[in-house]
């Protein structure tokens, strides 16, 4: 679905950002264009401002934020401002920001220097597993850890299923589940946060597919297809793992795998047919 857009064009803000000390001291003019991505249909049908984003308030918020903070780079100003807007306005799904610096001190004739970025909320699906100690406590702790972060919104968590170990079978049974989140984190940033949660749970990586207090994996991230040495999305083992597909069916049965072009429900049915042979 394509988002609707509210545009604030060339808002003038006098603020203190720049590499040179005099820029931070004396300040200068910046021009900010903000394209706010959201669904405006309910506001359009009801003529109710509370169902949209008030562009006057957003303009004041942009001005206040840029005047209350100082950054050396306009890249940093844009990044932090984008996150601030997305966290402040619940209806806002994406924001494209262009920050122009018309008085850039480069010693050459130019009209302006600018940085333009687009940021927004992303849908990710995560797998949770544990087969050491208080398994449920470790899974609940991971959900709570993620839920405490402002850049993560937990939308759904499956029930926990007790499953037989996969790969290395001479270990205790697992407790497994899946969750759907909205996040501002990029894939590698999300992976780092999941590793932090595992470390908090005392996980030690001593044996591949061995016992663990907590195991967290990124299953899907929007429709992203990524294949790197240390991160593959969608997770390559999804179609083979009943303990992933069963809890995923609870929370997203009709999610379509971007490579297999099959829904989660269909993938589970395929796997069960194979296992029955």
Residue 277: pLDDT band (50, 70, 90) is confident
Catalytic option among 42, 101, 135, 240: 101
Angle separating helix axes 55-68 and 74-88, nearest 10 degrees: 140
Q: What is the mean pLDDT of residues 71-94?
A: 97
Q: What is the mean pLDDT of residues 102-128?
A: 94
Distance CA 226, CA 171 (A): 31
- CA 250 from centre of chain: 21
Query: Which pLDDT does position 167 carry in this prediction?
Result: 60
**Closest alpha carbon to 217 in 242, 235, 200, 202:** 235
Residue 1 has pLDDT above 80, yes or no: no
Query: Which pLDDT does position 105 carry in this prediction?
Result: 87
Query: Which pLDDT does position 24 carry in this prediction?
Result: 86
What spatial distance separates the first Cα and last Cα of the chain, rounded to whole Å?
40
pTM of the model: 0.92
Tens of pLDDT, residues 254-274 = 999 999 999 999 999 999 998
Whether 101 sits among the annotated catalytic residues: the reply is yes
How many H helices and E strands in the chain?
Answer: 8, 11
What contacts 225, CB < 8 A, 6 or more positions away?
A: 233, 234, 258, 259
Query: Which pLDDT does position 203 carry in this prediction?
Result: 65
Tens of pLDDT, residues 212-240 = 789 999 999 999 999 999 999 999 999 99
Using DSSP's 3-state secondary structure scheme, residue 254 falls into coil
Distance CA 172, CA 212 (A): 10
């Amino acid at each position: 679905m394509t988002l609707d857009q509210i545009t604030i064009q060339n808002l003038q803000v006098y603020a203190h950002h720049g590499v040179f000390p005099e820029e931070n001291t004396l300040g200068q003019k910046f021009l900010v264009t903000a394209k706010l991505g959201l669904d405006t249909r309910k506001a359009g049908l009801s003529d109710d401002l509370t169902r949209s984003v008030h562009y006057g308030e957003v303009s004041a918020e942009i001005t206040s934020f840029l005047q209350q903070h100082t950054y050396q780079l306009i890249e940093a100003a844009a990044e932090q401002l984008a996150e601030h807007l997305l966290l402040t306005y619940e209806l806002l799904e994406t924001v494209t920001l262009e920050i122009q610096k018309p008085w850039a001190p480069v010693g050459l004739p130019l009209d302006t220097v600018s940085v333009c970025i687009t940021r927004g909320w992303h849908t990710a699906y995560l797998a949770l597993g544990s087969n050491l100690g208080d398994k449920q406590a470790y899974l609940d702790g991971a959900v709570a850890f993620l839920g405490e972060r402002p850049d993560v919104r937990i939308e759904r968590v499956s029930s926990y299923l007790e499953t037989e170990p996969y790969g290395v079978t001479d270990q205790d049974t697992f407790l497994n589940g899946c969750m759907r989140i909205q996040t501002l984190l990029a894939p590698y940033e999300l992976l780092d946060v999941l590793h932090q949660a595992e470390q908090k749970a005392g996980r030690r990586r001593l044996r591949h597919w061995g016992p663990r207090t907590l195991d967290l994996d990124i299953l899907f991230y929007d429709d992203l297809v990524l294949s790197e040495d240390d991160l593959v999305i969608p997770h390559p083992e999804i179609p083979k793992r009943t303990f992933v597909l069963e809890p995923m069916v609870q929370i997203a049965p009709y999610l379509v795998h971007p490579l297999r072009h099959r829904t989660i429900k269909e993938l589970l049915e395929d796997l069960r047919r194979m296992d029955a042979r």
